[in-house]
Amino acid sequence: MAGWGGFFVSLLNYKTEKYVIAENRKIGILFRLYQLAVLGYIIGWVFVVKKGYQEREEALQTSVITKLKGVTLTNSSQTGLQLWGAEDYVIPPNGEQVFFIVTNYIETPNQRLGFCAESFKVPNGRCQSDDDCIEGETVTAGHGIKTGLCLNSTGTCEIQAWCPVESGSRPTEPLLSEAENFTIYIKNFIRFPKFEFSKSNVLETSNDSYLKGCTYDSQDNVYCPIFRLGDLVSWTGYEFQDLAAKGGSVGILIEWECDLDKDSSQCNPRYSFSRLDMNLNNSVTSGYNFRYARYYKDQNGETFRTLYKVYGIRFDIMINGQAGKFNIVPTIIAIGSGIALLGAGAFACDMILLYMMNTSSFYRERKFEIINFKNDKSKPKDGKTGQRERRNRKPAAEKEVANSLKKPEDTEAAAGNQLPEDVRGPTVPRNTGQRYSAMVPPQGGEPRRHITISSHN
């Protein structure tokens, strides 16, 4: 219990720093190098590179509007000539942030509801007898519902579906090869609500013909967001014709890095382009396609449709950005963290001096000192130097300077008045300007004691 009591009492002690100058060049050089490294980190990295003096906002509010233009003509054996406009090859056509452009397709025209043979390409649709075609069962990954009959002519089950089923193969060359000359207009609005700052990636001009004749250039026309599809795909590192045959996915990233301590004209959009889908040669995972149909009615009111399996390029437009502006709070935090790092250097050097050197015990004796006011006051004053005397005592260096400034005659006179140490008693200072000394008579005579007073002006 006594140990625990001493521990709790020690918690009430106050600890203060004691500065000790350790004349150790290795530790001194190490400490200064650490200080320079911390200062370089704070000034170079925190303030210059990361702008640690700014308040940041990454909650970007954004809106994207897209518009495509361009027409092309296709000629197929089934439907003949067909003119494709933006309303035909853009899905969806309403200018969203994610859209798809048709570059190749398989067309199955004039499909009507009825009974027909399943495609032999569908494994679950193959059969050898009627027992393999359970009536009412859906063909897995197929086109319809089994009727219970196995058609020996095709080796597949009869199904109820839109007939005839899709049977064509993908063209090796993209049917809409001229799509690389189409243009895409990407209009982006951003807003940083914390700083009430808004901007657009379109040049603010009243000239109506500006957007009709410009195309994007990273050096000259940053604020003309009209891109040629062939150029846009080539910036990803791929050829447009190769991507258009099987399809793919392209990402368009618009980044806004705004330093609001500067003029708003310095806040410019930065574009980057990349292919997002896996590009594996001869792999079923490469490419991008899906199906859709267009429905019609004949003169008898019967519904029929044209099925399209389309290949093309999916575009994903992503917006990212952040803004910064000077604020005193992050500045103080950055400076405070730097001061804390400087303190860590001093702590590390102290640990080396205290525990990792041959003179660690000597350094610990000089660094740590325990002061007990009660014990110091209860000690006898005999043999101890008083507080006033300690205050008035001069260092040895000051005494040497004072002695060197004395006049020669004063020095000689003082030397004549001095007595040998075995004759003169100890000198005790009393008042300013006077010295009292006890005189001891020579041996052999009757001891007489008297006091002489010498005045020093």
Model pLDDT for residues 428-452, shown as the tens digit of each residue: 444 444 443 444 454 444 555 444 4
CA–CA separation, 424 vs 427, rounded Å? Answer: 8
Q: Which of 121, 123, 131, 257 is nearest to 197 (CA)?
A: 257
Q: What's the rounded Cα separation, in Å, for the pair 373 and 62?
A: 69
List CB contacts of 387: < 8 A, sequence separation 6 or more: none
Residue 387 has pLDDT above 50, yes or no: no
| Beta partners for residue 73, in sequence order | 83
Mean pLDDT, to the nearest integer, of 254-273? 93
The pLDDT of residue 212? 86
pLDDT for the residue numbered 350: 84
Which ranges of 139-239 does DSSP label H, i.e. alpha helix?
A: 210-213, 229-234
Of the candidates 187, 195, 133, the residue with the CA atom closest to the CA atom of residue 158: 133
The pTM for the full model equals: 0.69
177-213 pLDDT per residue, tens: 999 999 999 999 999 999 999 999 999 888 888 888 8
Beta bridge partners of 315: 99, 250
* 302 pLDDT higher than 90: yes
Structure tokens at 199: 């901007």
Contact yes or no for 134/275 (Cβ under 8 A): no
Phi and psi at residue 42, to the nearest 5°: -65, -45
Q: 249 with 275: CB under 8 angstroms?
A: yes
The token duo for 101 is: 């452009």
Asked if residue 427 has pLDDT above 80, the reply is no
Q: Cβ neighbours of residue 281 under 8 Å, at least 6 residues apart?
A: none
Buried b (16+ CB within 10 A) or exposed e, 306-334: bbbbbbbbbbebebebebbbeeeebeeeb
Kindly state the average pLDDT of the residues 254-258.
Answer: 95
Distance from C-alpha of 264 to C-alpha of 197, rounded to nearest angstrom: 9
- For the chain, what percent of residues have pLDDT higher than 90? 54
When the pLDDT of each residue in the chain is averaged and rounded to a whole number, the result is 82
**Position 379 confidence tier, pLDDT thresholds 50, 70, 90:** low
In sequence order, the 6+-apart residues with CB closer than 8 A to the CB of 37 are none
Q: Which of 86-95, 141-150, 168-177, 359-368 has the lowest mean pLDDT?
A: 359-368
Angle between the N-to-C axes of helices 360-367 and 328-355, in degrees from 0 to 180, rounded to the nearest 10:
130
Q: Could you tell me if 111 and 80 are in contact, meaning their C-beta atoms sit under 8 angstroms apart?
A: no
Closest CA to 439 of 456, 413, 415, 418: 418
pLDDT for residue 414: 45
Instruction: Give the closest residue to 199 by CA, choosing from 264, 271, 270, 272.
Output: 264
- pLDDT for position 354: 84
What value does the mean pLDDT take over residues 328-349?
Answer: 90
* Nearest to 199, CA basis, from 188, 207, 210: 188
**pLDDT value for 400:** 52
CB 187 within 8 A of CB 202: yes
Task: Quote the pLDDT of residue 279.
Answer: 64
Highest mean pLDDT among 115-119, 377-381, 425-429: 115-119
For residue 163, list its beta bridge partners. 112
Query: What is the predicted pLDDT for the residue at 335?
Result: 92
pLDDT at 155: 94
For 147, phi then psi, to 5°, come to -100, -10
Cα separation, 143 vs 153, in Å, equals 18
